[in-house]
Amino acid sequence: MKTLTLQASIIIATILSVFAIPTIAHADILGTWKTGAKNGSWGYIKFYRCGTRYCGRLVGGGGRKVNRKMFGTIIVKSMRRKGRSYSGGQILDADAGQWYISKMRLIGKNRLQVQGCVLGGLICGGQNWTRR
């Protein structure tokens, strides 16, 4: 009886692990994300692999003060992935034209916490972006 229970447990665990595999794919930032609103506008950032790292390009946006001339601009560059976190890269504040040290963290599969930092990462500000 114990052998049968053990075998059933192994079979159930195997089946559950097969169904868990698709959620692992969402631990990646690849795809398009909608930024938080800033000054009445938002953007759509498309993340892609740039060598062994991740980069993001502004591919669209909307709102009151959207600057369509910025579409196509790299906004996030050279982010290194470690689990659900990304760091080691930079993010562009398009309004100020300033690059900042950046770190990002996936919160669930559809929310990305994005931060730009100064003073070596001591002071950070950011937004939550949503997967589009």
- pLDDT for res 96: 87
**pLDDT recorded at residue 61:** 96
pLDDT 10s digits, 45-84: 999 999 999 999 999 999 988 889 999 999 999 999 999 9
- Residue 7's pLDDT is 45
Task: Give the CATH number of the domain where residue 91 resides.
Answer: 2.40.128.520
Average pLDDT value for residue range 89-107: 94
The arithmetic mean of pLDDT across residues 89-93, rounded, is 96
Q: What is the C-alpha separation between 56 and 114, in angstroms, rounded? A: 12
The answer to whether residue 11 scores a pLDDT higher than 60 is: no
pLDDT at 95: 83
User: Is the pLDDT at 5 greater than 70, yes or no?
Assistant: no
Q: How far is CA 7 from the centre of its chain?
A: 40
Per the structure, the complete domain to which residue 103 belongs is given by 2-131
Task: Find the Cα–Cα–Cα–Cα dihedral 11, 17, 22, 27, rounded to 10°.
Answer: 180
Query: One-letter amino acid identity for 130?
Result: T
pLDDT at 21: 38
SS3 68: helix
The percentage of residues in the chain with a pLDDT greater than 70, rounded to a whole number, is 80
Give the count of domains, the chain: 1
Higher pLDDT, 5 or 58: 58
∠ at Cα 30 (26, 34), nearest 5°?
A: 95
